[in-house]
Amino acid sequence: MAPLTSRRDFLINSSKTGLGLYIGSSLLSSYSTARVLSDKDDTGFQQTPLPYAYDALTEAIDAMTMEIHYTKHAAAYASNLQAAAKKENIDTSKPLEDVLRNVSKYSTTVRNNGGGHYNHELFWKSMTPKADQKPSGKLAAAIDQGFGSFDAFKTQFSDAGKNRFGSGWAWLIVDADKKLRIGSTPNQDNPLMDISDIKGFPLLGLDVWEHAYYLRYQNKRPDYIANWWKVVNWKFIEDRFQAAGA
Ligand SMILES: [Fe+2]
């Protein structure tokens, strides 16, 4: 099997030469190492700016929660990750995804903070004040096919979030067979990780840690989830679905 860097270079070069993004080929014996994002979509080790104001998503999330979540919780994951990367000689010029796909080789600090940073970077982008309320095009069709209907999908995804005991995330992923799947992970794990029970490329992740909702919703996690659907950035999720080649 070719080393990861060779596969990565192939996929990057394929993308640049117009061959498109490529997963699930015989060259990629394991989905867990597949590269599906373009260079510009790689996750770095630094926080990127929040794509909207703290009070932009008040239909679902209050401004104080957003500010504390972004400037304290998520910022801590990023800075702890950078410190751990330095200590463990991780090349931070490469995508964080490469580390997460092989996270079993690193410390628990990298697992927790690398996951925490990646998950939050995805979470901010997967919300918008100009939400379409539902997906369209190929993603909408795949959701209908995979789950019966958009409403059935929402119920199943919401249940994954509600039933995650303690802290964690609910996910919509594209798995190795290019099928949509719903699942959840504990703590700051995610489906990119080689240690995860559910593996694949994350399209959409919902933070169900109490820090994401407690100020407004207290113990009512289901109410937070019900309102969160109002701000999901389906355009962004559709772009990721397309990048996954499903
Ligand atoms: Fe969070």
pLDDT tens digit sequence for 178-198: 999 999 999 999 999 999 999
Q: What is the distance in A from the centroid of ligand 1 to the CA of 60?
A: 15
Evaluate if residue 235 carries a pLDDT over 60: yes
CA of 195 to the centre of ligand 1 (A): 20
* Integer Cα distance of 50 and 129 in angstroms: 12
- pLDDT exceeding 70 applies to what percent of the chain? 84
Please give the average per-residue pLDDT across 201-212, as a whole number: 98
Distance CA 77, CA 50 (A): 15
Q: Is the pLDDT of residue 63 over 90?
A: yes
pTM of structure: 0.86
Quick check: 147 pLDDT over 50? yes
Side-chain-side CA neighbours of 48 within 13 Å: the count stands at 15
Q: Measuring CA to CA, how many Å separate 171 from each of 52, 56, 80, 92, 205? A: 23, 23, 24, 26, 5
**Centroid of ligand 1 to alpha carbon of 16 (angstroms):** 34
Average pLDDT of span 215-228: 98
Q: Is the pLDDT of residue 28 over 90?
A: no
Predicted local distance difference test score (pLDDT) of residue 2? 34
> What is the distance between the alpha carbons of residues 42 and 107, in angstroms, rounded to a whole number?
22
Q: Which residue has the tokens 């795949």?
A: 142
The edge-to-edge listing of strands for the beta sheet with 180-186 is: 180-186, 168-174, 201-207
pLDDT of residue 11 exceeding 70: no
Q: How far is the CA of 151 from the centre of ligand 1 (A)?
A: 25
- Please tell me the distance between residue 15's alpha carbon and the centre of ligand 1 in angstroms: 32
Q: Per-residue pLDDT for 17 more than 70?
A: no
- How far, in Å, from the CA of 187 to the mean position of ligand 1? 10
**Ligand 1 mean position to 22 CA, how many Å?**
31
Which amino acid, residue 242? Answer: Q
The residue ranking higher by pLDDT, 75 or 17, is: 75
User: What's the pLDDT at 246?
Assistant: 75
Output the pLDDT for position 18: 31
- If you measure from the C-alpha of residue 7 to the centroid of ligand 1, how many angstroms do you get, rounded to a whole number? 32
Confidence of residue 38 (pLDDT cuts 50, 70, 90): low
Q: Distance from the CA of 2 to the center of ligand 1, in angstroms?
A: 36
pLDDT of residue 36: 62
| Arithmetic mean of pLDDT over the chain | 88
Going by the DSSP 8-state scheme, the letter that residue 198 receives in this structure is: S
Distance 211 CA to ligand 1 centre (A): 6
Residue 141 Cα to ligand 1 midpoint, Å, equals 30
pLDDT of residue 107: 98
Ligand 1 center–CA 156 separation, angstroms: 21
Q: What are residue 206's DSSP bridge partners?
A: 170
Look at residue 37 in the predicted model and tell me its pLDDT.
Answer: 61
Rounded distance from Cα 205 to ligand 1 centre (Å): 11
d(CA 171, CA 184): 6
- Cα(14) to centroid of ligand 1, in Å? 35
Residue 171 CA to ligand 1 centre (angstroms): 14
Q: Kind and range of the H or E element at 4?
A: helix 4-16
Reply yes or no on whether the pLDDT at 22 is more than 80.
no
Q: What is the pLDDT of residue 46?
A: 96
Q: What is the pLDDT of residue 34?
A: 52
At 149 the three-state DSSP class reads: coil
pLDDT for the residue 245? 84
